[in-house]
Amino acid sequence: MDLQVNERNLPLFEALASQTRIKMIELLRYENLNIKEMSLKLGISSAIVTKHVHQLEEAGVITTQLMAGKRGMQKQCSLRLDRVTLLFKPDNGSGEWQPPAQDHYTVSIPVGQYSAYQVKPTCGLASGNKLIGMRDDPRYFAEPEHVKAQHLWFASGYVEYRIPNYLAGKLPVKSIRISLEICSEAPGYEENWPSDITFYVNDTAVCNWTSPGDFGSVRGKLTPAWWEPGSTQHGLLKTLLVTTDGTFMDGIQLSPVTVQDLAIAPAEEIRFRIGSCEDAKHPGGVSLFGRQFGNYEQDIEVKITY
């Protein structure tokens, strides 16, 4: 495969500009591996491996597919490219590398850009440099500055986001993958504070996940210096996946709800809601983190495959 050295192909060069990702390619040269297997071989967390896999997949270097494993579905990774020849001078032939056929699109949604909400205290919003409004006053969730929030929390209720639908015609959606940093919401913080959190797509409850706690004993890697100790510092990086086979959280099936059950219509936005009910078995609230708070430099990352 011939590859022109130009800005168009920058995603591939960026994907290769990492010692960790190069090591992953070296491992996949000899065998296909799932996320957990690569995590053990590299000595890094599965969450970090997942982020690297996402970048390599976006660049067309590797391909992934869900495979049945001992503990639910596992993401199996394999190399997509065999060799690449770099072309520094113009090529008059027809051998210029073409990116893989587009079968998906991605959207990054800041946690503050919710389109609807209903929350009860304890609750609040924070940008990268200050509180937005006052703590424990739900009225400030309507403050125009809420779009700048990098961290938000509520004891019960929900926030809802709009995912743009870029599909043309009647193309069917094969899967929706949503990655976000999330945990429970306790007054102050409480490491052991389970919370039953429900995720909805187009008003359909796709699954319930129990967050184990509200984490504040260790400062978040990205949490700004002005944020006081004794408060929530970071969450867990979780990946929700709705496919034609069901709904999964980090590869473990949590419900039989499929992407066909979500009533996704052409040209109509997709609504994604995160809620915590007062009458749940564990009514422990929700805390969300953006790219300037917590441990992971990302917003709510969405991938639609069709």
Number of other residues whose CB lies within 10 A of the CB of residue 72: 14
**Residue at 178: amino acid letter:** I
Question: What is the reported pLDDT for 96?
Answer: 47
Q: In terms of CATH architecture, what is 106-305?
A: Sandwich (2.60)
Report helix angle 46-58 to 19-28, nearest 10: 80
* Regions of the chain where pLDDT drops below 50: 94-98
Q: Cα–Cα distance between 207 and 182 in angstroms, integer? A: 15
Question: What is the reported pLDDT for 281?
Answer: 96
Average pLDDT, the chain: 90
Q: Cα–Cα distance between 304 and 83 in angstroms, integer? A: 28
Class of domain 2-99: mainly alpha
Token duo for residue 179: 């990655």
Dihedral-angle region of residue 296 (phi above 0 means left; psi in -120 to 50 means alpha; beta otherwise): beta
- State pLDDT tens for residues 214-269: 999 999 999 999 999 999 999 999 999 999 999 999 989 999 999 999 999 888 99
Number of other residues whose CB lies within 10 A of the CB of residue 87: 16
Whole-structure pTM value: 0.70
Cα within 13 Å of Cα(206), Cβ side:
29
How is the chain split into domains, by residue range?
2-99, 106-305
Number of other residues whose CB lies within 10 A of the CB of residue 93: 7
- Check: CB of residue 295 under 8 Å from CB of residue 222: yes
Residue 267 phi/psi, 5-degree rounding, is: 70, 5
